[in-house]
Amino acid sequence: MLQEESDLSLVIAQIVQKLKGSNLYAQLERQAWASLQRPEIKLESLKEDIKEFFKTSGWEKKLQNAVYSELSVFPLPSHPAAPPEHLKEPLVYMRKAQGSWEKRILKSLNSMCTELSIPLARKRPAGEQKELLNKWNEMGTDEPDLSLFRPVYAPKDFLEVLINLRNPNYENGDSLSFRTHLGLIQVPLKVKDIPELKEFFVELGLTTGQLGIDDSTQVPPELFENEHVRIGQKVLLEQDSAAAQQYIRQGSPTALRAELWALILNISSHPEDILYYEQLKTNVIQHDLLVDSLIYKDVKLTASNDDYYFVFEDYLYQVLLCFSRDTSVLAHFAYNSASPPKSYIRGKLGMEEYAVFYPPNGVIPFHGWESRVQGEKWTLNYVVEGIYNQLYYPWLKGCSGVAETGHTSTLIRPPHALSLLPRQ
């Protein structure tokens, strides 16, 4: 009991510390100072009066949503004496597998640089910067020669690594048995049993309504849809992130999808957010990275030839190129099994003071990378890069890293993948 209380206190302290450096904290501070001019704020009950002001003005709800958003990516409590690498991944053989995988990716990237005689990054000439700026909203019309570029790896390569993963402390015998054919992954890890899965995915039961599915249920689909939309409008009116996430487990109405996901991921369109996006866009225009060509080729091979997503080709370029420059993503590597790749300034190889993360967000794109953002194109219409940032680390980071667990709080359930896709 004491250990649980200690863990909870530590989590609260760390979240408070992180929020103190956020834009929300500055806004709350400004609102608190401004509220002192209000007649209902009394000096003798100052603390309680300000709390009541935050509650009635909606700022308390914004703070709750911010805490909920932090919990979705917060690492599970660990022993205070645990070394840093233990916080990233407690199992040694998992850490070794992740390290080998990262070396393989970097070797592939460096080999491509050497073969093509191109740098990892370069500053674009003024003329090229102007040209890219002019065609920012129509980058899909550009047809660069990408025949020499190849994906650093494909999902099947990563699957092969997972299939070959073994626990050296687990002896199953050399002889084949029934258990060895139960699945591709042969690592003995604790997973949910059938009753637990039924409880976890209770919303997918045949007796529970699910938007867009015409299975036989107790409530006719038309009545369920009308009631579900009405509840969704109420959830948006309340501006409660936790309620919104629970709500979409039964489907997300097309008309409400953009607002619901922005609420769940606690994304706003404040001037500061727009300015940050513009800064990322400026970085894309000023500097050309090798990974830009990988992103271009991936979009050309997938979305451009897709009957549904080809219309969003320009949008995909904008989001993924800006995401590759988003250094705020690096903060998540502190409690993630992966480590951001490093490069060195020319002529300073091996000197850590001249090391830089490459790409700036620490995430190397692979074949099929753009499919991670395709679903959002149907749902989100503004500052999509910020939403992709928030969506990537709670639920998509596992697509490219070896780890025992997702390292996210058990209080937060990931959304159904179906809720990201368009309803037919």
What per-residue confidence (pLDDT) applies to 388? 56
Phi/psi at 232 (nearest 5 deg)? -60, -40
What per-residue confidence (pLDDT) applies to 156? 84
Between the two ends of the chain, the Cα-to-Cα distance in Å is: 49
Phi/psi at 78 (nearest 5 deg)? -135, 175
Contacts of 261 (CB under 8 A, 6+ apart): 252, 267, 376, 379, 380, 387, 391
- Rounded Cα gap, residues 49 and 39, in angstroms: 11
- Rounded Cα gap, residues 225 and 222, in angstroms: 5
The HSE-up count of residue 55 (CA atoms within 13 Å, CB side) is 6
What per-residue confidence (pLDDT) applies to 374? 53
- Rounded Cα gap, residues 144 and 274, in angstroms: 30
Phi/psi at 58 (nearest 5 deg)? 95, -5
What per-residue confidence (pLDDT) applies to 371? 64
Phi/psi at 350 (nearest 5 deg)? 90, -10
Torsion of CA 256, 259, 263, 267, to 10 degrees: 160
Radius of gyration of the CA atoms of the chain, in A: 24
What per-residue confidence (pLDDT) applies to 235? 93
The per-residue pLDDT string of the chain (424 residues; one tens digit each, 9 = 90 and over) reads 555 666 677 778 878 888 887 888 888 888 888 888 888 888 888 888 888 888 888 888 888 888 888 887 776 666 667 777 777 788 888 888 888 988 998 888 888 888 888 888 899 999 999 999 998 888 877 777 888 888 888 788 888 888 888 888 876 655 556 565 667 777 877 888 899 998 888 877 777 778 877 655 566 777 888 889 999 999 999 989 989 988 988 888 888 888 888 888 887 777 777 888 889 999 999 999 999 998 888 888 887 777 777 777 888 888 889 888 988 888 778 777 788 888 887 777 777 787 888 889 888 887 776 666 655 544 444 455 555 566 655 555 555 567 666 443 333 333 333 333 333 3
Torsion of CA 140, 142, 148, 152, to 10 degrees: -30
What per-residue confidence (pLDDT) applies to 163? 87
- Rounded Cα gap, residues 310 and 322, in angstroms: 19
What per-residue confidence (pLDDT) applies to 81? 74
